[in-house]
């Protein structure tokens, strides 16, 4: 293999507000190899790729392409330098044909005659064929399968002259058959002398297709390994880390009564496939159950079903000895389930409203907050002030829009609201995502306090450290099923990592 470097990153740093997404990343890709960048969600892989393709600009550090320092200020610059990126969510215009999507953005000619388009379509089809990337170039994008759309995106980069092709989580949208086809394509690209970089969190794929593997965790680049000189076990260990924190003293109630029992649950996801497929679990009173797994394995759908936001196709849900008949948010709220959603500003809080209105979201129907359809305005203001003080939410003014608060304070406000409901079960989805260390500890203490009061928590997280620190039991989800379950005492990072990657 060629030893010259296509891409070299030196000490790359990217900071988003208080969050350090990339911490002095050094990364080298050889010409003509398939290089896999591996890491959990939030490890910083996509950020690195976005800087390489000009979407973000590094806060500090240097990018070298073909040994020369490169100034990549915009995606246009990246294209000029021969870097093409295939995003996880495709950048396609669904009503245009495949060929039209590819020539989109081309400067000339101004007048595009029918003949010109026919010639271009033929040219594109020939290019696609050369790399074994067949798709009907004259057909509208909305009529193409997801796999075909992805091939179209790859051809688009080739058409624009890319010799370094980046694929961000390319298999997350594909069926297993389509994924195999993609790997064959990647090998073909390599044989044609192209350099391929792909990010993924699926171990098996990496072992199947990559020449070299780089592992990232929490914004740092840990190691680069030759595939031939490593194995799944070593990579998994690197990916999830080894530093184990001392667990705090825990007051688990042994053998609490069964609070929630889910059996054979089948739930259809947004893309029409089964997001949960025969899922089962039990939550007892006074325990924190952690749901581990890489995003997109059914965690989101599980949380939504329990919050009453999503219906299920088959299976049973029994909560406090009541069998649920259908999905209803009000029913879930009244039954005592509180929900800290994944994206607090998207679905948890209303950014342009003040603290009072945001605190009222779940409780405004109760007699304490409203009477005969009228809100008890004066009383609600006092109540909100009390909660804001109790949960130490720092806000300029109680009526100030909550989007002005820091992420940590927004999350505190959200927790204040959800805990005030006196829930029997709290479903917390990535509750510490994007928070700094202090705010993370605050959230952890709130969850532990709930447990110590005899309430239960379903903690959905991708952060193994967090799960190991807090959970009494950890259930690992993969492909909508329970891959494995382990108690706190017996939890072992290596096994969890293997389960999360879908390896038994």
Q: Which residues bind another protein (CB under 8 A)?
A: 73, 307-309, 328-330, 332-333, 339, 341, 346-353, 357, 360-362, 364-365, 370, 373-375, 377, 401, 403
Least separation in angstroms between residue 73's CB and another protein is: 7
Which of 9, 356 has the CB closer to another protein? 356
Contact (CB, 8 A) for 289 and 281: yes
Residue 74 corresponds to which tokens in the numbers above?
């915009």
Which of 176, 367 has the CB closer to another protein? 367
Which of 352, 487 has the CB closer to another protein? 352
Which of 351, 484 has the CB closer to another protein? 351
Contact (CB, 8 A) for 1 and 32: yes
Least separation in angstroms between residue 374's CB and another protein is: 5
Separation in Å, CA 232 to CA 98, 192, 220, 495: 38, 28, 20, 12
Least separation in angstroms between residue 139's CB and another protein is: 26
Residue 10 corresponds to which tokens in the numbers above?
């030196």
Least separation in angstroms between residue 199's CB and another protein is: 24
Contact (CB, 8 A) for 448 and 248: yes
Which of 190, 344 has the CB closer to another protein? 344
Cβ partners under 8 Å of residue 191, min gap 6 = none
Which of 54, 286 has the CB closer to another protein? 54
Contact (CB, 8 A) for 349 and 405: no
Which of 17, 454 has the CB closer to another protein? 17
Contact (CB, 8 A) for 281 and 262: yes
Which of 44, 348 has the CB closer to another protein? 348
Least separation in angstroms between residue 242's CB and another protein is: 37
Least separation in angstroms between residue 411's CB and another protein is: 14
CA 168, CA 88: separation in Å to the nearest integer? 5
Plot region of 371 (φ>0 → left; ψ -120 to 50 → alpha; else → beta) = beta
Least separation in angstroms between residue 324's CB and another protein is: 15
Residue 194 corresponds to which tokens in the numbers above?
């192209």
Which of 159, 415 has the CB closer to another protein? 415
Least separation in angstroms between residue 311's CB and another protein is: 14
| Strand-pair partners of 487 | 473
Nearest in space to 201 (alpha carbons), one of 160, 238, 147 = 238
Contact (CB, 8 A) for 163 and 29: no
Cβ partners under 8 Å of residue 280, min gap 6 = 262, 263, 264, 265, 482
Which of 399, 492 has the CB closer to another protein? 399
Which of 44, 341 has the CB closer to another protein? 341
Cβ partners under 8 Å of residue 417, min gap 6 = 358, 359, 361, 362, 363, 387
| Strand-pair partners of 425 | 337, 456
Cβ partners under 8 Å of residue 496, min gap 6 = 240, 292, 464, 467, 474, 476, 484, 486
Residue 405 corresponds to which tokens in the numbers above?
């608060």
Least separation in angstroms between residue 330's CB and another protein is: 4
Least separation in angstroms between residue 414's CB and another protein is: 10
Q: In what order do the strands lie in the sheet with 34-38?
A: 83-86, 164-168, 195-200, 34-38, 212-217, 220-226
CA 440, CA 154: separation in Å to the nearest integer? 40
Least separation in angstroms between residue 16's CB and another protein is: 13
Q: What is the CA radius of gyration of the chain?
A: 25
């Amino acid at each position: 293999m060629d030893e010259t470097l296509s891409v070299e990153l030196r000490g790359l740093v990217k900071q988003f507000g208080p969050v350090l997404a990339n911490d002095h990343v050094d990364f080298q890709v050889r010409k003509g190899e398939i290089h896999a960048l591996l890491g959990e969600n939030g490890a910083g892989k996509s950020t690195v790729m976005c800087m390489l393709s000009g979407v973000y600009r590094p806060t500090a550090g240097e990018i070298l392409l073909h040994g020369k320092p490169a100034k990549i200020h915009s995606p246009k610059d990246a294209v000029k330098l021969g870097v093409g990126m295939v995003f996880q969510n495709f950048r396609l215009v669904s009503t245009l044909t495949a060929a039209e999507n590819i020539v989109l953005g081309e400067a000339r000619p101004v007048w595009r005659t029918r003949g010109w388009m026919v010639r271009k379509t033929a040219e594109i089809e020939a290019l696609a064929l050369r790399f074994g990337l067949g798709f009907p170039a004259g057909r509208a994008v909305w009529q193409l399968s997801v796999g075909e759309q992805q091939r179209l995106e790859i051809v688009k980069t080739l058409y624009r002259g890319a010799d370094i092709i980046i694929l961000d989580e390319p298999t997350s949208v594909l069926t297993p058959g389509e994924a195999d086809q993609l790997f064959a394509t990647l090998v073909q690209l390599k044989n044609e002398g192209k350099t391929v970089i792909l990010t993924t969190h699926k171990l098996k794929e990496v072992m199947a297709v990559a020449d070299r593997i780089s592992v990232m965790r929490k914004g740092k680049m840990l190691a680069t390994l030759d595939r031939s000189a490593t194995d799944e076990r070593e990579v998994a260990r690197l990916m999830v880390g080894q530093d184990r924190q001392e667990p705090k003293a825990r007051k688990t109630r042994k053998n609490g009564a069964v609070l929630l029992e889910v059996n054979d649950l089948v739930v259809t996801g947004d893309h029409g496939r089964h997001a949960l497929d025969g899922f089962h679990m039990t939550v007892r009173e006074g325990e924190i159950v952690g749901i581990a797994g890489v995003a997109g394995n059914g965690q989101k759908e599980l949380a939504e079903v329990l919050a009453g936001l999503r219906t299920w196709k088959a299976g049973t849900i029994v909560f406090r000895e009541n069998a649920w008949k259908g999905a209803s948010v009000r029913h879930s709220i009244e039954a005592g389930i509180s929900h800290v959603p994944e994206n607090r500003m998207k679905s948890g809080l209303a950014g342009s409203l003040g603290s009072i209105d945001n605190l009222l979201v779940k409780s405004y129907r109760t007699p304490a907050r409203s009477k005969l359809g009228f809100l008890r305005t004066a009383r609600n203001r006092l109540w909100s002030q009390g909660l804001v003080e109790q949960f130490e939410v720092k806000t300029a003014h109680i009526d100030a829009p909550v989007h002005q608060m820091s992420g940590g304070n927004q999350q505190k406000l959200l927790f204040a609201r959800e805990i005030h409901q006196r829930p029997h079960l709290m479903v917390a989805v990535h509750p510490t995502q994007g928070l700094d260390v202090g705010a993370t500890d605050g959230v952890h203490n709130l969850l532990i306090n709930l447990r110590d009061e005899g309430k239960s928590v379903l903690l959905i997280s991708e952060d193994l450290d967090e799960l190991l620190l807090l959970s009494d039991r950890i259930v690992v989800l993969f492909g909508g099923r329970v891959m494995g379950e382990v108690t706190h005492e017996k939890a072992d990072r290596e096994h969890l990592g293997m389960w999360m990657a879908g390896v038994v």
